[in-house]
Amino acid sequence: MTIKDIAKACGVGVSTVSRVLNGRPDVSPEVRERVLNMVEATGYIPNNSARDLGRSQTDTIGVVVRGMGNLFFSRVLNTIIQETDKVGYTLVPRFIDSDDDEVKAGAVLEREKKLRGLIFLGGRFDYNPEELSLVHVPYVCCSFTNSFGSLAEDAYSSVCIDDFRTAYRAVEKLIEHGHRRIAALVPSRADHSISELRFEGYKAALADHGIPFDEALVVECGGCFTMPEAYEGMEDLLDRGCDFTAAFVLSDTTALAAIKALQNRGRRVPEDVSVIAIDGLQISAYTTPTLSTMVQPAEEMGRESVKLLLEVLKGGPNRHIRLEPAFREGASLRSL
Amino acid sequence: MTIKDIAKACGVGVSTVSRVLNGRPDVSPEVRERVLNMVEATGYIPNNSARDLGRSQTDTIGVVVRGMGNLFFSRVLNTIIQETDKVGYTLVPRFIDSDDDEVKAGAVLEREKKLRGLIFLGGRFDYNPEELSLVHVPYVCCSFTNSFGSLAEDAYSSVCIDDFRTAYRAVEKLIEHGHRRIAALVPSRADHSISELRFEGYKAALADHGIPFDEALVVECGGCFTMPEAYEGMEDLLDRGCDFTAAFVLSDTTALAAIKALQNRGRRVPEDVSVIAIDGLQISAYTTPTLSTMVQPAEEMGRESVKLLLEVLKGGPNRHIRLEPAFREGASLRSL
């Protein structure tokens, strides 16, 4: 069975089959499904894993990591590597860009490496069953879940914090300290992803405390959570000239970049602006000022993801685990 | 062939064989060698990879990472993962503690996963041929080389910076800024590892500029490069009450922790103490003060390690690649 046979059987060109197998977006859903069904039915294995033909059953687990520079993901990934290793499974990690499609990447990895299971480290929150039909092995969504999607609860597993509630708690912490003019730095406010959920948590906390929502205090920095993006985002906010005494920033590293932008513009943290974030990296306990942040249990998240996937592989039910972040007080927050 | 057969043939107990296969240190070198030779001669595969029996030849590469919390290693590891993936190889990462033996861990991983090649990410600098005879596949030392050891140059490959010279350049930078009372924070000054090489570079820079070496200005913080260790190390130095205007710290994260300790004791950086480090993480360009640091080309290091290993796997000669760090000026350094 060669790629030509697959193409012929599907009535499409070889390059189309190749595009499907490489998870490229420029193929219609119908053709994609036809090709993948044929691939499955015939047991065809793409060339680059023909070398693995000898294996009929593997104990290989894949992890698709969305974004390379994310320090929080690195911590989780390292735990996933260690935990998978401990139980004798082989872990195959694959990095994709933060705007790539992790489901397609997972489906390709599944076929290439004959995976038994998959962990998605980072992803969108709006999967539908059709999309996920590309993946034929059990999978765990690590650090996110399907809040905006239509997957059946028992069709997948997830391990994450409650992003809405965690953002709500962070912003409430600012309000408890007397702040009412609270800026929000988020990658996007409507991307059906972690950013939207946390932004909604921000809005809900304001609303529940009778603080009117002010468009002018929201900055969308771009989808990649990078420090340069957050730095520029804070500069934009300052350029608008609007007044605020506190900022809620989506992650530790972007909060540090935002603090840097504030300081470079002559604003002191926390004297002029208080800052709170979500993540709880070790390094942000050593910065000046130290960061007030909601600590995500990174090791636990990695460990539970592996444990849950193994349970499902052994026939257990899909489950959804919610971990509770803890507030870590830093010097970036003061009372008005 | 079972583990019992191996034990019987070697005249040892099953638990001894198991200890050897798990890379445990509590086995004499003679017994270890006897067992490993028998394992090799008989083609015995430990239980936990019996499932891989079907594979006679794999395209699997292992990477043994020494220490889990190291942000610099995380960056290099992520690049190694990505680059191995790009060329269609399967990468199997394994983490060990920073005081574990990476050679034994590599040898075990080689057998368990039937590796074709190995990358050591972090390790000692004093290997001898006997130790490395445990490893039967080509390997690349990534981020270190065999400065204190006795391996033949053509017996292994390495990709790293020149640690002695990089430390020398960093300390010279402090001297050029007028500093003469320069403290050194290192994990250890004589561990035959990266720390000793960098400490020697520090001493050589002082000597070449006619500055007498002062024991009192050296702190050994402990072998793990952690931020808490460096924080305490700087506190110890301050407790000694000795006078210094600058500090050379071994890595970015430990330098940030040392700066924190200085600030918490009322010393301003750089007004009272200048600080320089080696690594060049992105985050240390966003701290207050930003860090003056020798930037190691992390991505290049990972990429070249994979490239070199593949060359050797295809029959190319072992080589040693030295990468050149670039100085990144930060606000942690001032002229006296």
Q: What is the pLDDT of residues A247-267, one digit of tens each?
A: 999 999 999 999 999 999 999
d(CA B169, CA A101) in angstroms, rounded, equals 44
Under an 8 A CB cutoff, do B85 and A94 touch? yes
**DSSP β-ladder status, A139-142 and A157-161:** parallel
What pLDDT score does B47 carry? 46
Under an 8 A CB cutoff, do A283 and B91 touch? no
- How far is CA B59 from its chain centroid? 25
Interface with chain B: mutation pick from A56, A59, A63, A78, highest number of B CBs within 10 Å? A78
Phi, psi of A320 (to 5 degrees): -130, 115
pLDDT, averaged across chain B: 91
Of B51, B88, B253, the CB nearest to A283: B253
Angle between helices B29-42 and B3-10 (to 10 degrees): 130
Residue B248: pLDDT band by 50, 70, 90 thresholds? very high
What pLDDT score does B95 carry? 93
What pLDDT score does B92 carry? 94
Lowest mean pLDDT among A227-236, B41-50, B172-181: B41-50
The amino acid present at A55, given as its one-letter code, is R
What pLDDT score does A47 carry? 46
Lowest mean pLDDT among A44-58, B13-27, B78-92: A44-58
Count CB atoms within 10 A of the CB of residue B327. 16
The distance in angstroms from the start CA to the end CA of chain B is 71
For B13-40, give the DSSP string: -HHHHHHHHTT-S-S-HHHHHHHHHHHH
Residues of B in contact with A113 (CB under 8 A): 90
Phi, psi of A270 (to 5 degrees): -100, 0
Lowest mean pLDDT among A8-17, A51-60, A61-70, B178-187: A51-60
Q: What is the pLDDT of residues B141-151, one digit of tens each?
A: 999 999 999 99
What pLDDT score does B225 carry? 82
Under an 8 A CB cutoff, do B95 and A74 touch? no
> Which of B305 and B42 is assigned the larger pLDDT?
B305
For A237-278, give the DSSP string: HHHTT---SEEEESSHHHHHHHHHHHHHTT--TTTT-EEEEE
Predicted confidence (pLDDT) at residue B80 exceeds the cutoff of 60:
yes
Predicted confidence (pLDDT) at residue A201 exceeds the cutoff of 80:
yes
- How far is CA B20 from its chain centroid? 24
Q: What is the mean pLDDT of residues B70-74?
A: 92
Lowest mean pLDDT among A274-278, B110-114, B139-143, B178-182: B110-114
Residue A138: pLDDT band by 50, 70, 90 thresholds? very high
Reading the block at residue B111, the tokens are: 């057998």
Interface with chain B: mutation pick from A57, A288, A291, A313, highest number of B CBs within 10 Å? A288
Nearest CA to A79 out of A96, A91, A66, A67 is that of: A91
What pLDDT score does A26 carry? 74
Q: Where are the beta strands (DSSP E) in B152-217?
A: 157-161, 182-186
Q: What is the mean pLDDT of residues B289-299?
A: 98
Chain A residues with a Cβ under 8 Å from any Cβ in chain B? 48-49, 51-52, 54-60, 68-69, 71, 74, 78, 81-82, 85, 88, 90-95, 113, 227, 231, 253, 256-257, 259-260, 263, 282-283, 286-288
> Which of B76 and A13 is assigned the larger pLDDT?
B76
Residues of B in contact with A94 (CB under 8 A): 81, 85
Name the residue in chain A with its Cα closest to that of B46: A88
Tell me the ipTM for this assembly: 0.81
Residue B157: strand pairing partners? B140
What pLDDT score does A327 carry? 98
**DSSP β-ladder status, A274-279 and B182-186:** unpaired
Residue B46: pLDDT band by 50, 70, 90 thresholds? low
> Which of B11 and A63 is assigned the larger pLDDT?
A63
Reading the block at residue A97, the tokens are: 């860009």
What pLDDT score does A23 carry? 60
**Shortest CA gap A16–chain B (Å):** 20
Reading the block at residue B283, the tokens are: 């985050």
What's B316's DSSP letter?
P
Name the residue in chain A with its Cα closest to that of B57: A51
Residue B328: pLDDT band by 50, 70, 90 thresholds? very high
**Shortest CA gap A167–chain B (Å):** 23
**Shortest CA gap B55–chain A (Å):** 6
Lowest mean pLDDT among A7-21, A163-177, A252-266: A7-21
pLDDT, averaged across chain A: 91
Q: Say which residue the tokens 């997830």 belong to.
A: A158
Under an 8 A CB cutoff, do B58 and A51 touch? yes
Interface with chain B: mutation pick from A90, A115, A253, A267, highest number of B CBs within 10 Å? A90
Predicted confidence (pLDDT) at residue B50 exceeds the cutoff of 50:
no
Kindly give, in sequence order, each residue whose CB lies less than 8 Å from that of residue A178, ignoring residues fewer than 6 positions away.
A335, A336
- Let me know: does A103 contact A134? Beta carbons within 8 Å: yes
Residues of B in contact with A256 (CB under 8 A): 283, 286-287
Residue A211: pLDDT band by 50, 70, 90 thresholds? very high
Q: What is the mean pLDDT of residues A95-123?
A: 94
d(CA B324, CA B319) in angstroms, rounded, equals 16
The kind and range of the H/E element at A234 are helix A227-239
**Shortest CA gap A33–chain B (Å):** 24
Question: What percentage of chain B carries pLDDT values higher than 70?
Answer: 93
Residue A311: pLDDT band by 50, 70, 90 thresholds? very high
What pLDDT score does B144 carry? 96
Predicted confidence (pLDDT) at residue A53 exceeds the cutoff of 70:
no
Half-sphere exposure of B136 (CA within 13 A, CB side): 14
Q: What is the mean pLDDT of residues A272-279?
A: 98
Residues of B in contact with A82 (CB under 8 A): 68, 95
Under an 8 A CB cutoff, do B81 and A90 touch? no
- How far is CA A98 from its chain centroid? 8
What region, left, alpha or beta, does residue B234 occupy, with left being phi > 0 and alpha being psi -120 to 50 degrees? alpha
Of B52, B82, B260, the CB nearest to A288: B260
Chain B residues with a Cβ under 8 Å from any Cβ in chain A? 48-49, 51-52, 54-60, 68-69, 71, 74, 78, 81-82, 85, 88, 90-95, 113, 227, 231, 253, 256-257, 259-260, 263, 282-283, 286-288
Residue A55: pLDDT band by 50, 70, 90 thresholds? very low
Question: What percentage of chain A carries pLDDT values higher than 90?
Answer: 76
What pLDDT score does A54 carry? 36
d(CA A173, CA A170) in angstroms, rounded, equals 5
**Shortest CA gap A87–chain B (Å):** 9
Question: What percentage of chain A carries pLDDT values higher than 70?
Answer: 93
The amino acid present at A197, given as its one-letter code, is L
What pLDDT score does A123 carry? 93
User: Interior CA angle at A290 toward A289 and A295, to 5°?
Assistant: 150
Nearest CA to B142 out of B75, B58, B224 is that of: B75
Helix, strand or coil, per DSSP, at residue B276: strand
What's B157's DSSP letter?
E
- Let me know: does B78 contact A74? Beta carbons within 8 Å: yes
Residue A43: pLDDT band by 50, 70, 90 thresholds? low
Nearest CA to B4 out of B41, B37, B44, B43 is that of: B44
Name the residue in chain B with its Cα closest to that of A252: B283
Reading the block at residue B108, the tokens are: 């075990």
Q: Kindly provide the b/e burial profile for residues A231-241, where b requires at least 16 CB atoms within 10 angstroms of the residue's own CB.
A: bbbbbebbeee
What pLDDT score does A90 carry? 92
What pLDDT score does A31 carry? 84
Under an 8 A CB cutoff, do B59 and A69 touch? no
Predicted confidence (pLDDT) at residue A45 exceeds the cutoff of 60:
no
C-alpha torsion sign, points A27, A30, A31, A34: positive
d(CA B146, CA B152) in angstroms, rounded, equals 9
User: For residue A13, what are the CA distances in angstroms to A123, B31, B239?
Assistant: 31, 60, 74
Predicted confidence (pLDDT) at residue A50 exceeds the cutoff of 60:
no
Kindly give, in sequence order, each residue whose CB lies less than 8 Å from that of residue A234, ignoring residues fewer than 6 positions away.
A185, A219, A247, A257, A258, A261, A262
Kindly give, in sequence order, each residue whose CB lies less than 8 Å from that of residue B37, ignoring residues fewer than 6 positions away.
none
For A270-326, give the DSSP string: TTT-EEEEEE--SGGGSSSSPPEEEE--HHHHHHHHHHHHHHHHTTPPP-EEEEPPE
